[in-house]
Amino acid sequence: MSAPHIPVLIDEVMAALRPQAGTLLVDATFGAGGYTRRLLDAGAMVHAFDRDPDAIAAAREDRESWPELDEDPPRLVLHSRCFSEMVATLAEAGVTRVDGIAMDIGVSSMQLDQPARGFAFAADGPLDMRMGREGPSAADFVNTAPAADIADVLYRYGEERQSRRVARAIVAARPLETTGQLAQVVRKALGHRPGAPKDPATRSFQAIRIHVNGELEELEAGLFAAESLLRDGGRLAVVSFHSLEDRIVKRFLREAGGTGAATSRHMPELGRQEPTTFGEISKPVRPGVAETARNSRARSATLRSATRTAAPARERLAA
């Protein structure tokens, strides 16, 4: 019955969401189902989303681990959709309000552990990185984009200070077809020393993955979707894994809580009084020593949570 990967900060996420029998909750990032399993075990009904069709297909095939799929009515409903589409997807299922939403942002352990998905360079694989297996791949991007565009992506999403040098090296080495080839190009451009504590290719891989999947735009859209779906008193819990994600969550909750200026391009102009849509905003929670010892991926995790107020959802302007 247990999921093969335990999500980080799972006890803290459950404490933030407070699942109970009869509550209606959303696991916006199903993955291997670790959060969902704990929510179901508390007696809740769960709508689980994942943009990766492999994750949803695996759960649907494993009825032994997910008997709630076959209950009448089912206590687990799976959606092979992006979490930014939560509002429309749940409306199709007759759901307009939920009691809690969990979001575990970024790439999943299963994706990282499968070389064929092309997310990591620990083992060589095709240069793919697409979470939803649709649209242009990482190979399409690095083999066709101008050097200036590649440099911009590396700097913006990977905080790579030598982005121009790396971008020029990528263009010069085209065509690139595998994760190993790309990693070697980046290492050579940055003068990688074997045995260094962090592989310099990590920043570029993160940046290209975020760009290919539109991850930051998806996160912002998902947060506004959560605001629209949560009932008065509903709980939101978001786990992020790097500073770019955490800044978006922190800014969103500050603006929603009325403690920060509306600086997002998606928010109405300054001067308009915006409702306070979230309260009880938590301080950031990070994993303890024991958890990071068990799971190295947990090291960079940050949990932020908040409670929905009765105020109407804010207007989100088109980009």
| In the chain, beta strands by DSSP E | 24-27, 45-49, 76-79, 98-104, 230-240, 278-279, 302-308
Superfamily of domain 116-213: Putative methyltransferase TM0872, insert domain (1.10.150.170)
Amino acid present at 131: M
Would you state the pLDDT for residue 260?
Answer: 64
Query: How many Cβ atoms sit within 10 Å of the Cβ of residue 40?
Result: 23
CA max distance for the chain: 60
Is-contact 90 24, C-beta < 8 A?
no
Q: How far is CA 286 from CA 36, 208, 246, in A?
A: 21, 26, 12
Distance CA 40, CA 76 (A): 8
One pLDDT digit (tens) per residue for the chain, 319 residues: 333 466 899 999 999 999 999 999 999 999 999 999 999 999 999 999 999 999 999 999 999 999 999 999 999 999 999 999 999 999 999 999 999 999 999 776 667 777 778 788 888 999 999 999 899 999 999 999 999 999 999 999 999 999 999 999 999 999 999 999 999 999 999 987 777 778 999 999 999 999 999 999 999 999 999 999 999 999 999 999 999 999 999 999 999 998 865 445 555 544 456 789 999 999 999 999 999 888 887 889 999 999 999 999 998 765 4
Superfamily of domain 10-109+215-308: Vaccinia Virus protein VP39 (3.40.50.150)
Would you state the pLDDT for residue 121?
Answer: 84
Would you state the pLDDT for residue 316?
Answer: 76
Per residue in 240-287, pLDDT tens?
999 999 999 999 999 999 886 544 555 554 445 678 999 999 999 999
The reply to whether 116-213 shares the fold of 10-109+215-308 is no
Per residue in 2-31, pLDDT tens?
334 668 999 999 999 999 999 999 999 999
Give domain limits for the chain.
10-109+215-308, 116-213
Assessment of whether the complete model's pTM goes beyond 0.85: yes
Strands 230-240 and 302-308, sheet pairing: antiparallel
Torsion angle (degrees, nearest 10) of CA 279, 263, 241, 212: 130
Provide the b/e sequence for 92-114 (b: ≥16 CB within 10 Å).
Answer: eeebeebbbbbbbbbbbbbbeee
Distance CA 259, CA 165 (A): 40
Structure tokens belonging to residue 305: 């949570």
Would you state the pLDDT for residue 263?
Answer: 47
Q: How far is CA 19 from CA 14, 43, 286, in A?
A: 7, 8, 21
Distance CA 4, CA 20 (A): 24
Distance CA 153, CA 29 (A): 24
